[in-house]
Structure formats: C-alpha cells, structure tokens
Amino acid sequence: MKNFHLHLVSDATGETVTSVARACLVQFEGVQPIQHNWWLVRTQGQVERVIAGIEDNPGLVFFTLVDGAVRGLLEEACRHRNIPCISLLDPVMAGLSAFLNVEVSALPGRQYQLDAEYFRRIDAMQFTLAHDDGQLIELVDQADVVLVGVSRSSKTPTSMYIANRGIKCANYPLVPGVPLPPELERAKKPLIVGLTKDPKSLSDIRRARLRLLNQEEEADYAQFEKVKEEVQQARRIFSRLGWPVVDVTRRSIEEASATIIQLYERHLEKRGLKAETTPS
C-alpha cells in the first residue's frame, strides 16, 4: 500500500473537494492518502496556516478557492516548494464563463447561501424525519416520494439522501402478515417505489443486526427461507400496484437514490410538472 499526504483546501465546507478527491482516488489500487482537511480558508492568515501544514507534511494539494488573492498565496507557496497544487473548479468555471459569456463572481461559499433552495432542502429533511418508518402515513399524499420495502432494505438512509436534494421522501416498512394501509394504496400524488434486495444478502444483514443486539440469530426475521418468502411477497405487492422497483443489493445509497430521483423526474414529467431538486 502506497501512502501519501493529501491536502484538501476549501473556502467553504470542503464537501466538493472531498467528493471529487474520493471519486478519483477509488480508481487507483494500492494507494492510501493521509488526508489533511483545511476548511473555510478565506484570509491570508488562514492560508499561511495551511502552507505551514503543507510544509510539515509535503504532498499533493487539491483546492477549491475562488478568491484570487487567497488562492494566489497558496499557489505561489506550492510553486516555490515544488509541490503539486490543483484547482478542481477552474476547468468547469472557465467552460461556463466562456459558454455564457459572463464573468465569474468569485464569492466563497456562495453555494451555501440561505436562499429558497436551502430552505426547501431543510423542509424536505424535516418532513422525511417526521414520516420515517411509516409514521404519519395518513399524510402520505403530502410526500413527493414514498419508499416501501421489507426491513433492512435501506429505506431510511435512502430517504434522507433524497431529502437532502429537496424532495420530501417518506418510507413505509413491509411487515409479514400486516396489510398495507389503505392511504398508501390510494395515494395519487407521490411516486411510490418498491425497494428490494437479494434474500441471501438481506438474511446476512439481518443476522448481523441480531448479533449486534445480542438476540437469537436463527429467528424467523433472519432465516433465509423466511426472508426469501418475505421478499417474494413484497415483489408481488409492488407488481399488483404497478410500483417501480429498485434493487439495492449491489447499489450504494447514492446510486439507489440517483435511480429513484430519475424515476421521480419522469413521474413529474408525466404529470406536466418540473422537479425542483438541489444539484448533487
């Protein structure tokens, strides 16, 4: 395993630079970065502290700094020390500026300003928390998306990820022997999506869950044949009601959410509406 120091420098929360670095690094086998995070870097004094940290642990520098004076100090210091220093935003902003024929405003943290989009996202997250795991199911028609699935099919984390995109997402657990609430079957406004998972994988996850709770691992909840029957019954419900199905077996939360958001956008198009989502 090859280790190296990686400095991530941002004038905001570091979300963008971290996501890009992670997306790139997973393509390289046998490397392990020692990550140094430098967030909210907006003044000369803050840049000088970053430079001192880079001197102590020389390595690759990724940055998302839009203020010319601040980034200039970092770039000059790295150039003087022969340290690679890469701006992740420059190609995108230059392309946008050329295409739109508009100058870049260069305001740090502008993507986090308290605008209507921000409050829509907060409202969606509050809604999702209040409608988690079948709560307030009588208000299901207030949701944009409803996720339905058996236990441990990633309903809650997927709902929260979708809510962070400004979409009100409720979820409902399918329990063997418990009929669907009539409100869910009658719902017209939301997109209802069935989540499914490979029974073997689901059985293993449930066993691990029971082990963590110091409970009997051979309970019906985790037995493969019982789980298989439960998943099949869930699929029959999805088919009967015409709900689209997303298999989350080999999908990350992000990938499953992206598929669901695409389904939601098509759902709105059919109704002659336009999705209002926060860019990822």
| pLDDT tens-place string over residues 83-98 | 999 999 888 888 888 8
Q: Are residues 68 and 144 in the same domain?
A: no
Q: Is residue 75 part of a domain?
A: yes
**CA-atom Rg of the chain in angstroms:** 24
pLDDT given for residue 111 in this prediction: 56
Q: Are residues 54 and 148 in the same domain?
A: no
Q: How far apart are CA 64 and CA 8, in angstroms?
A: 8
Is 154 assigned to a binding site?
yes
Is 153 assigned to a binding site?
yes
Q: What angle do CA 253, 256, 260 make, to 5 degrees?
A: 130
Amino acid at 123: D
- Return the SS3 of 107: coil
Name the strand (E) or helix (H) holding 226: helix 224-241
Q: 111: Cβ–Cβ under 8 A, 6 or more apart, which residues?
A: 12
Q: Are residues 78 and 128 in the same domain?
A: no
Is 156 assigned to a binding site?
yes
Amino acid at 162: I
Q: How far apart are CA 267 and CA 278, in angstroms?
A: 17
Q: Are residues 121 and 229 in the same domain?
A: yes
Is 95 assigned to a binding site?
no
Q: Are residues 34 and 123 in the same domain?
A: no
pLDDT given for residue 117 in this prediction: 79
Residue 66: Cβ-neighbour burial (10 angstroms; 0-12, 13-18, 19+): buried
Chosen domain end from 71, 100, 129: 100
Exposure string for 243-266, b = 16+ CB within 10 A, e = fewer: beebebeebeeeebbbbbbeebee
pLDDT given for residue 220 in this prediction: 87
CATH code: domain of residue 35: 3.40.50
Strands 60-64 and 31-38: unpaired
Q: How far apart are CA 175 and CA 150, in angstroms?
A: 7
Q: Are residues 255 and 155 in the same domain?
A: yes
Instruction: State which residues form the domain around 74.
Output: 2-100
Closest CA to 20 of 33, 8, 3, 34: 8
Query: Which position has the token pair 């657990």?
Result: 173
Query: Which position has the token pair 């002659």?
Result: 272
pLDDT given for residue 89 in this prediction: 87
pLDDT given for residue 276 in this prediction: 66
For 102, other C-beta atoms within 10 Å of its C-beta total 9
For residue 83, what are the β-bridge partners? none
Chosen domain end from 100, 124, 152: 100
Q: How many Cα atoms within 13 Å fall on the side-chain side of residue 240?
A: 8
pLDDT given for residue 109 in this prediction: 58
Instruction: Tell if the pTM clears 0.85, that is, is over it.
Output: no
pLDDT given for residue 128 in this prediction: 97
Chosen domain end from 74, 100, 126: 100
Q: Are residues 134 and 39 in the same domain?
A: no
Is 239 assigned to a binding site?
no
- Return the SS3 of 211: helix
Per the structure, the count of domains in the chain is 2
Q: Are residues 89 and 131 in the same domain?
A: no
Q: Are residues 134 and 36 in the same domain?
A: no
Q: Are residues 121 and 91 in the same domain?
A: no
pLDDT given for residue 24 in this prediction: 92
Closest CA to 145 of 153, 136, 131: 131
Is 177 assigned to a binding site?
no
Q: 197: Cβ–Cβ under 8 A, 6 or more apart, which residues?
A: 149, 150, 152, 153, 154, 231, 247, 248, 249
Q: What is the pLDDT of residues 127-180, one digit of tens each?
A: 999 999 999 999 999 999 999 999 999 999 999 999 999 999 999 999 999 999
Q: Print pLDDT tens along the chain (280 aa).
A: 799 999 999 998 898 899 999 999 999 999 999 999 999 999 999 999 999 999 999 999 999 998 889 999 999 999 999 999 999 988 888 888 888 888 776 666 555 555 677 788 899 999 999 999 999 999 999 999 999 999 999 999 999 999 999 999 999 999 999 999 999 999 999 999 999 999 999 999 999 989 888 887 778 899 999 999 999 999 999 999 999 999 999 999 999 999 999 999 999 998 888 766 655 5
Q: How far apart are CA 155 and CA 149, in angstroms?
A: 7
